[in-house]
Amino acid sequence: MCSPCTTVAPSSSAEGFVATLLADGLLIETGVQGVFGKNAAFEAVVRGIDALVEAAAADMRPELVRFPPVVPRTLIERSGYLAGFPQLIGAVHSFGGGDTDHAALLQAVEQGGNWGGFLSSTDVVLTPAACYPVYAMVSGTLPADGRVIDAASYCFRHEPSNEPGRMQIFRMHEIVRLGSSASCVGFRDEWMTRGESLLREIGLDVQCVPANDPFFGRRGRLLAATQREQALKFELVVPITSAERPTAVASANWHQDHFGELFEIHDESGATAHTACVGFGLERITLALLRTHGTAPERWPRAVRSALQL
């Protein structure tokens, strides 16, 4: 499912690359690590990648759904995300007090203090992955052939970093498969090939590698090892700021019956459904393109511009 390929060797550092992108206006600094504005040129590339993903999935006739970048807190509680990735969570807190509490809140702000303590949990959490609301949406019985769903969303992961490829908030375009075990394994494998073709078509030097999720803590190391042993997750990696440690720009995952169980998704016989997904990181692919072809998209190779509808 993974074919070997050579890698290019980007010469400059992560910091140097970000400095170039900021100077060229492609990224706009906000003052927070991993939170950037983007200009028209960057956004046009993102739109092009989005369209390529849709085209690559078209023969699977996915149902398109779009959820906002927050999901219900109960969905996160149910999903097991807090067991695996508490360090990445972005829970939304708000203010429910009256005039007196408000005065105290403003005083804390004025004094540069921590005003988070004046807030309390709301019913929502920032979306950790575009496919999460899909599992809640399909709770219940699947049609005979299962379902294929196209989902895309801004996602949040609390991991401040100077690495341009490690944004705290970024867009992910996913195709999700729900159905039998065989359909999900086939889908995952098929998308490693399709994903690799898609990325090669736009001139990226891609490799397919076995991978694991960044599970938290002591127990997490065990989960990660099991995930690799069972070969559940593969990533497509491309050099962005390091040839030795290329960055994952897409991943294909077979979740077995993990989400089927948690969200009570089953087939007509009552058997728990399996799920799989492929996710494309739109900012990361754009950065890989800027790294590979230069920071002036108007001078990219004609075939790449054409594929991206630039």
Q: Which of residues 24-53 bind its own copies (CB under 8 A)?
A: 28, 30-33, 35-40, 42-43
For 100, counting Cβ atoms within 10 Å of its Cβ (0-12 exposed, 13-18 middle, 19+ buried), the class is: exposed
Interacting residues of 32 by C-beta distance below 8 A, sequence separation 6+: 160, 168
Say which residue the tokens 């972005």 belong to.
90
Task: Encode 6-15: b = buried (16+ Cβ within 10 Å), e = exposed.
Answer: eeeebeeebe
Shortest Å distance, C-beta 234 to its own copies: 27
89 touches its own copies by CB under 8 A: yes
In angstroms, how far is the first alpha carbon of the chain from the final one? 31
Among 67, 142, 200, 261, the residue binding its own copies under the rule CB under 8 A is 67
Using the minimum distance from each CB to its own copies, give the nearer residue, 39 or 230.
Answer: 39
Using the minimum distance from each CB to its own copies, give the nearer residue, 196 or 283.
Answer: 283
Among 1, 14, 91, 148, the residue binding its own copies under the rule CB under 8 A is 91
Q: What is the DSSP letter of 272?
A: B
Give the footprint of its own copies on residues 220-249 (CB under 8 A). none
71 touches its own copies by CB under 8 A: yes
140 touches its own copies by CB under 8 A: no
Range in contact with its own copies (rule: CB under 8 A) among 6-14, 188-196, 214-222, 271-279? 214-222
Question: What are the distances in angstroms from CA 131 to CA 150, 151, 255, 279?
Answer: 9, 6, 12, 9
Give the footprint of its own copies on residues 156-185 (CB under 8 A). 156, 158, 160, 167-170
